[in-house]
Amino acid sequence: MLTRLLKRGLFAGAIVLGVETAYAILWPAPELESFDPSREFGNPALPTLRVAVLGDSSVTAPGVQGPDDIWVSRVCERLAGEYRVVLASFAEGGSTAHDLSHRQLQPAIEFEPDLVLVAVGANDVIKGVPLRVFERNLEALIRRLSDTGATIIQSGVGDLGSIPRLHPPLENLMSRRATKFDRAHWHVAERHGTTVVDQRSDDLSVWYEDPALWAEDRFHVSAHGHKRWAETAWRSIAPVVRQREPV
């Protein structure tokens, strides 16, 4: 009897998750334009800092007004106080860690960057990639990038349960998975001496409470959200970049 009840409970839970997932995916939303933040920042007379960014829609930024709103651009604007920054983005919306290795890694290496920003993990969480597979793929990616001698910053993974399209129990599932995938970033970074943006240093409750942080599609982040992302990223990036000798 107990076994039968457990099976029914698991089946009912699977149905609820299935319905929630279908709602999150199929919820009618406007088509939002994506952007490429690649450009130069700062005084050409300053030392050059070549910045490559590999990533997903957190970089192509559907939901902002233009590339200047993107967190990567905001970070580069700050770096431009000391450097002529040459930013090259290889990001593609929807990318997983596997996609970064197979489509973005080689052109990023050929760019010969001094600083690499790796923004990945959210799609692995959402698409159901097993945690061990994500960590293995991230490990391979960071290992190859480390061989370039560039300074590497990993994005970590924020609390994806805050995405407005999600509702319990899917919201709770995404939040728990995101925490584990964020830890995977830290594990890989510890092995390779890289830096992770401390997403959890932000007040994560704000992402649940402030609708202005989210775009019209209730899935991607708005310009206001990218500004907050930039502040969080800068707290981790600034100390690392300041250790570099200008070239």
Q: Is residue 139 part of a domain?
A: yes
Q: What is the pLDDT of residue 29?
A: 56
Q: Is residue 133 part of a domain?
A: yes
The lowest-confidence range among 2-11, 23-32, 162-171 is: 2-11
Average pLDDT of the segment spanning 69-90 = 98
Question: Domain containing 106 — which CATH number?
Answer: 3.40.50.1110
Q: Is residue 247 part of a domain?
A: no
What percentage of residues in the chain have a pLDDT greater than 90? Answer: 85
The pLDDT-based confidence of 23 (bands split at 50, 70, 90) is very low
Q: Give me the long-range contacts of 21-28 (CB less than 8 A, separation at least 24).
A: 21/170, 23/165, 23/167, 24/163, 24/165, 24/166, 24/170, 24/219, 27/165, 27/218
Write the pLDDT tens digit of every residue in 176-235. 999 999 999 999 999 999 999 999 999 999 999 999 999 999 999 999 999 999 999 999
Q: Is residue 10 part of a domain?
A: no
Total of domains in the chain: 1
Q: Is residue 196 part of a domain?
A: yes
Mean per-residue pLDDT over the chain, rounded: 90
Q: Is residue 11 part of a domain?
A: no
Average pLDDT of the segment spanning 164-171 = 95
Query: How would you class 21 by CB atoms within 10 Å of its CB: exposed for 0-12, middle for 13-18, buried for 19 or more?
Result: middle
Predicted confidence (pLDDT) at residue 110 exceeds the cutoff of 90 = yes
Q: Is residue 194 part of a domain?
A: yes
Range of the domain at 209: 33-239
Q: Is residue 8 part of a domain?
A: no
